[in-house]
Structure 1
C-alpha cells in the first residue's frame, strides 16, 4: 500500500529484531537460541522475520500452526521448524513433504506419528511435549516417563523434549522451581535427547534453566522479558497514525461515542485514521473517569479523548502549539518512548495482544534488513 494512501504506517526494524536475537543467544550461555515466529511472527510478518533471523544465525523456529510452518519453509529451506500446536489428524504427510516437525503432546499424536513413520519406512523427527504444570497441552510428566520406559518411541526420532514455564515473568513464583525440578527428572528418562524449557522470560531467570535450547518469542519483538525492570530489548515496531482532521471542542462538549469524555475548557482535537479494526484496542478509550491511551504529537505526549472507534481515534492536542501540526501529519502510537508494554497496560492487557492484533490496513515499512 502506498504510504500516502494509508491511515497508518507500521515500521518494522529488522536490525533490531536480529540484535534482540543475538542478545538472547548470548544470555542463553551456550544453549541454542531458537525463535518463536507464531502469530505471523507476532504480527511483523513471517516472510520478513524468518530470513532476518536466519541471517543473524538462528537455525530453529517454532510456529503454532501447520500453515505458518509452510510459510516459514517457503522463505527458509534450511531451517528446523517445529509446530507447537501438534499433529492434527491426517496431517502427517504434509509434515513429511515440507520437512517439518510436529510437537507431539498426547499419546494419540505419538501413535499417529509413529504409524506414519512405520508406513513410510523412515524415522522422522518430532518433539515430545511434557506438561509440568501448565495443564494446557502436553503429556503429563509421568505419562511421558512411562512412554519412554515402555520403549514406545522407536518408530520416530525424538529430536527434542520440551515443556513450557507457567510464570517465568514472575521470577519468585514457586511453581517455576517445581517445574524445573520435574523437567530435569524427566529429562533423565530421555538420554541423548536435547531438552528445552525456557521462553523469553525464562532466559533471564536466576536459576538459568537454559538446558540445550531456549525458545524466545515476545522479547525478540521488543517486549520486556523482565516486567518491573528496565527493558533490555530494542524496540522493533513503530506505529504512526495520520491526522485526518483538526477541530476545536468547546467547554462542556463531548467527544466520541456515548459522550463519556467531556471537554474541560476549550480543547483542540485531532482525529487520526486508526481504530480497533487496525488492532489498536478499544480498551484504550479515555473517559472523564479513566485515562486511556496516549500519542506523541509533534514531540508532545497527548492523551486520547473519548472512545477508540472502529476506524478512528481522537486525541486532545491542546498542549501542542497550534502551528506545529496540520492535517496529514503523523502521530506516534507505538514508539518515541511509548513502548509496547505501556500500550498493553493502557489497553488493560499485555503487549503480546497488541502486537499480534496489529492489522493489515497499515502501510508496512521494513527497515534494517
Structure 2
C-alpha cells in the first residue's frame, strides 16, 4: 500500500494557542490521546516554546510520556486522577492527579501523601468529579493540604445559549467561592463563553487544532491520499462493494490509499469529496477498509494525490457528513498515516 501523509502545521497550533491565551488568564493545553492524534512530542514542544506552562492528559501513562518530552518544570495534570497502580508514575514523572472521588483521595493520601494533587468537582455533568456532599465532607482535609487546582468541566459549552452552562457556573462558584483556590472550569468551548467562565486557568484541546467550536482558529491538518490506480468506466458500470454507485456518464475513476481502517468512516461513502487544488472530486462507491474510489473525470490530468483534509474541507466537514463531531474524526485519524510536522512556535 502507498503510505499516506498527514501534515501537521505546528505554526497553526502555536497561533491557535496564542489566540486562545489572549482571551483569558493563564492558558494550559490538553494533549490527551497523542495530542488528539497529531503527535504528542512535536505538539508539546511547540506549545512549550509558545509559552504554555501547564498541560493536561487523560492517563498517568500519557503524563509520564509527556514528562519525558518536556523535562522538569511544566505542570502536568491527569484528568483520570489517581488510579490503582498509578503511584510510581505519578511520583517518577511529577504528575498532578486530579482526584475525582473519595476512594481516590484515600489512595492518594495513603500512597503518595507528599505529592501535589488537584481536585475535580462534578457540577452537573455526572461523568467525572467529586459530588457536592463528598466535597463538603472532604474539603477541610484537602484544603489543608493545598490542592494545586480545583476544576470542573462543562457539559454544553459548545452550545453557548444552553442553560446548563449558567447552571454549572453557578454550582462551581457555590462549591468553591471564598476558598482561595486556583480554579479551572473551561476547555475550548468554555473559553468562548466569556470571562465569567475563565477563572485562573483554561484548558483548550480541540481548539488548538483549529476545529469547532474555535472556528476562528487556523486549520492545522492537511491529509493527502495517494492515487494507486485509475481506470475508465462506461455508462452503467458500478463501483465497489454492493454496487452502491453506477456511472451515469463516461467516468475516470481513481482508487486512493485510505479507508475506514484509517478513520475515514464507511458512512462517508458517496457523501464527501476529495480535492485537487480547487476542484472537488466526489467519493463514489463504498469506503472500504483500505481503499476509496473517487470520480476524477473533471480533472485534466491524473493527480498523484487527492486531499481529504485541506483548505476546502476540515475535520468538522467530515464529521457533519458522518453525523458525528470533529473530535471523533480528529482522534480517529489512523496510525498508518505518516505524520509530518512542519512549522513551529
**TM > 0.5:** yes
Which secondary structure does the structure 1 equivalent of 2:340 belong to?
strand
In 1, distance between residues paired with 2:50 and 2:150? Answer: 25
Counterpart secondary structure, 1:68 = helix
CA drift of 1:281 comes to 1.6
Determine the structure 1 residue equivalent to 2:124: 133
Counterpart position of 1:319? 298
Q: CA deviation at 1:207?
A: 6.1
- For 1:123-272, list aligned pairs within 5 A: 124-148=115-139, 151-153=140-142, 156-188=145-177, 191-206=179-194, 208-225=196-213, 231-272=215-256
The residue that corresponds to 1:309 in the other structure is 288
State which of 4, 8, 11 in structure 1 corresponds to 2:7.
Answer: 11
What are the superposed Cα offsets for residues 101-129 of structure 1, whole Å, 9 maximum, x if unpaired? Answer: 111100000111111244xxx2x211101
In the aligned structure 2, how far is the partner of 1:26 from the partner of 1:352? Answer: 23
* Structure 2: gaps (5+ residues): none
Q: How far did residue 336 of structure 1 move?
A: 2.3
Give the total of aligned pairs: 343
State the shift of 1:100 in Å.
0.5
Question: 2:315 is matched with which residue?
Answer: 340
2:75 is the counterpart of 1:80: yes
Q: Unaligned stretches of 5+ in structure 1?
A: 287-291
Alpha-carbon distance between aligned partners in 2 of 1:18 and 1:6, rounded to the nearest angstrom: 31
Alignment of 1:19-30 (within 5 A): 19-28=15-24
- TM-score normalised by length of structure 2: 0.96
2:42 corresponds to 1:65? no
**In 2, distance between residues paired with 1:20 and 1:128?**
28
Please name the residue that 1:289 is paired with.
none
Residue of structure 1 equivalent to 2:105: 110
Q: Distance in 1 between matches of 2:84 and 2:130?
A: 17
* Deviation (angstroms), 1:260: 1.3
Question: Are residues 1:283 and 2:279 paired?
Answer: no
Which of 323, 337, 345 is the matching residue for 1:362?
A: 337
Conserved in 2, the CA contact under 8 Å of 1:126 and 1:158? yes
Retained in 2: the 8 A contact 1:6–1:362?
no
RMSD: 1.5
